[in-house]
Amino acid sequence: MNKLEEILARARVEVARRKQEVPLETVANALPRRAFVDALTRPGLSLIAEHKRRSPSAGAIREDLELEDVVGAYERGGALALSILTEGPSFGGSLEDLRAARAASSLPILRKDFIVDPYQVQESLAWGADAVLLIVAALSERELVVLHDLAADLGLAALVEVHDQLELEAAIDVGAKLVGINNRDLTTLAVDTNRTFELLGHLRDGAVIVAESGYSTREQLDELAGAGLDAVLIGEALMRAPDIEAATRELTRAP
């Protein structure tokens, strides 16, 4: 069993437990949506700044900081959206982090997790997300369609994440308007930033494209902007920075 399969197996057990403890009919009281896609389509390359305490590839990143301080630094530094890890065992996140980020920042929020069940989409809405991550490698064709359609029905953006051309074709087939190209191989955890550029030529016009994993410098972001990318998602490099606001400002070139 590779790392992705291990995480997915655990995710399915966990969501089954939550469905028993908190039935779907009690998952309500959704907050108004913030315009996640609009934040990524402003002129220039938009930064989605990620709160991530640890990961399977890096181990502990920063567990000594208050989430509210991190997302506040991201917003002051010029990030235009947030990504909040809510997966617990491998990434140290929780649904409570989603709600805390919503209270601490005015930026639209992506719930970063392994979404495998419609319950989690409803749950994301209730806890304050404006977008959900749908990983093509983690889902069957039918699951992807169901989850993508449900997100749209609920007014949530869906970032459909791909790693190769076959997955990209699946994203196109489902009608994804927001596509994330993840440079990290989820089975080996290796990163190859050439992957984004290799897949760009296979994209259809009109999709909003987000580059993920392996970025840490302004020079890399300039290259992405020059290639026509709309946004980049960065977590680890910012979380490790001694001054998170200054590091964010350096990447966004905010005044």
Active site residues: 50, 52, 112, 161, 182, 212-213
C-alpha pair distances (Å), 229 with each of 195, 200, 212, 225, 235: 13, 9, 11, 5, 18
φ/ψ of 222, rounded to 5, equals -60, -40
User: What is the rounded CA–CA span in Å between residue 227 and residue 42?
Assistant: 16
φ/ψ of 66, rounded to 5, equals -75, 135
User: What is the rounded CA–CA span in Å between residue 87 and residue 97?
Assistant: 10
> Residue 10 is encoded by which pair of tokens?
């655990």
Amino acid at 210: V
DSSP letter at 189 equals -
